[in-house]
Amino acid sequence: MAVPLAGSALAACGTSGPSQAGAGGGGAAAPSSGGATYWYLSGQPSEGVRTNALNRFNQANPNDQIQGTTFQNDAYKTRIRTAVGANQAPTIIWGWGGGTLRSYVQAGQVEDLTSWFDQNAAVKSRLFSSAFAPATVNGKIYAMPAETVQPIVLYWNKRVFQKVGAQPPQSWGDIMSLVPKFNAAGVAPFSLGGQSRWTNMMWLEFLFDRVGGSEVFQAVADGQQGAWSNPAAIDALTKVQDLVKADGFIKGFSSITADSNADLALLYTDKAAMMLHGSWTYGTMSSDGGDFVSGGNLGYMNFPPVEGGKGDPTATTGNPAQYLSISSKATDAQKETAKKFFATGVLTDAEIQDWIGTGGVPIVNGADAKLTGSKDADFLNFVYGVASKAKSFPQSWDQALSPTAAEKLLDNISRLFQLSITPQQFADSMNGVIGQ
């Protein structure tokens, strides 16, 4: 009966199909013959870097070909899970590590790489050691860290700060006293794409860390009963609601999505003074913001400490790396090809240069030596410094937790920012999914 509705629903799904890249053609990802397969994310400029790295490997190894297929970010998340569940996974599975990787491990779908890393110690030692935590499940390594490190950064708009005559915040108290100052000047203190939910989560990640230290969330990740009821957690949740109540975020933030980059636009069009966001937004702001970045108007800093908090002010959070796993359903020949790619094709000097060119910091020790000369050298050095000096660098919560707990978390965060639940209700609700 609902034929016209169903028809339009199907039509809406037809835009995000996969596209082929790399060597060969033919079928998508059925584990066939000796050639390995590799699924990764589309979207420039990162897609180009990934494709180039793959092409270089294929040219250098005519007998070990890897066929790449690209997917759009959100479509990939469901597609890869379905494929892995149906034993149709590609040889190399691109991912975010953490909770999703753990569910692959529990289902026996990915290879244990611990002994391979022991045999190839050089591959391991050249990468940031913090990058390995999200690749590790029960003490064993199931993924190869790759690509770039992406800490969350507090950006500030120098033009707006100068106009209002304010100084960048050195503490949580500074933040709260800057809020009325900017509001009085008609500028939103903080930009926020609140509809995307994980954007709000970044605030909680830092407040939990600064108030109670990294062990507060670690207890949640470890599945300790009642971990969300920690007084430090309640304090952090209360602080973020205080900020919402003080109109710290731009009016209508719940209508703004991060995927449209409207939150970035608010900062570079001087409508907002500050923004807490991933280091990956730097590239978009410099390409879309006119002379905002090139004119030196963008300031950046690590999240400031909270008065009386236990957290280490050098700690950060975000994406320690991206991850490549090997499907346990692949043939031995495909697995060998994948390992060869990990050892000789991932984060080669050429790929490192490509990443730096996109405004990213590769997860390679000593990459800072290569940053000089880049037009974004200041920012890249800042990111490298934050990432390499961080006392702790936990992964974003929604990636670290299981998908089930992460969905519950994002749902509760959205309610918390709507002020429709109290910090205590948030903690009670989240305690219900601990360990899931």
Partner 1 sequence: MTALAPPGARTAIPSPVAGSGRSASFAWMALPALIVFVAFGVVPLLGVVGLSFTTWDGLGAITPSGLTSWTAVLTDPGLPHALWVTFLVMALSWLVQTPISLLIGVFVAGHQRYRALLAVLFFVPLLLSSAAIAITYKALLDPNFGLGAGLGIPLLQQDWLGQANLALGVVVFVVSWQFIPFHSLIYQGGVRQIPRSMYEAAELDGAGRVRQFFAITLPQLKYTIIASSTLILVGSLTYFDLIFVLTGGGPADATTTLAVDMYKRGFQANLMGPASAIAVILVLVGLALALLMRRVGGSDSTASQLEGT
Residues that bind partner 1 (CB under 8 A): 1-2, 4-6, 8-9, 11-13, 15, 78, 81-82, 84-85, 103-104, 106-109, 194-195, 197, 250-257, 260, 262, 265-266, 271, 402-404, 406-408, 411, 414-415, 418, 420
Count the helices and strands in the chain (H runs, E runs).
20, 14
Q: Which residue has the tokens 């062990």?
A: 215
Give the nearest distance from C-beta 407 to partner 1 in angstroms: 4
Give the nearest distance from C-beta 184 to partner 1 in angstroms: 19
Residue 432 tokens read as 């219900």
Give the nearest distance from C-beta 420 to partner 1 in angstroms: 6
Residue 63 tokens read as 């007998």
- For residue 74, count other CB atoms closer than 10 A to its CB: 10
d(CA 143, CA 324): 5
d(CA 220, CA 222): 5
Give the nearest distance from C-beta 5 to partner 1 in angstroms: 4
Give the nearest distance from C-beta 16 to partner 1 in angstroms: 10
Q: Is 436 exposed, middle or buried (0-12, 13-18, 19+ CB in 10 A)?
A: exposed
Is the Cβ of residue 114 or residue 418 nearer to partner 1 in the bound state?
418
Q: Are 128 and 145 in contact (CB under 8 A)?
A: yes
Is the Cβ of residue 67 or residue 109 nearer to partner 1 in the bound state?
109
Give the nearest distance from C-beta 295 to partner 1 in angstroms: 22
Is the Cβ of residue 89 or residue 216 nearer to partner 1 in the bound state?
89
Q: In what order do the strands lie in the sheet with 36-41?
A: 19-22, 66-71, 36-41, 92-95, 322-326, 144-146
Is the Cβ of residue 148 or residue 414 nearer to partner 1 in the bound state?
414
Is the Cβ of residue 208 or residue 253 nearer to partner 1 in the bound state?
253
Which candidate, 247, 278, 163, 217, places its Cα nearest to that of 427?
A: 217
Which candidate, 296, 290, 285, places its Cα nearest to that of 162?
A: 296
Is the Cβ of residue 103 or residue 136 nearer to partner 1 in the bound state?
103
Is the Cβ of residue 148 or residue 200 nearer to partner 1 in the bound state?
200
Q: Are 96 and 131 in contact (CB under 8 A)?
A: no
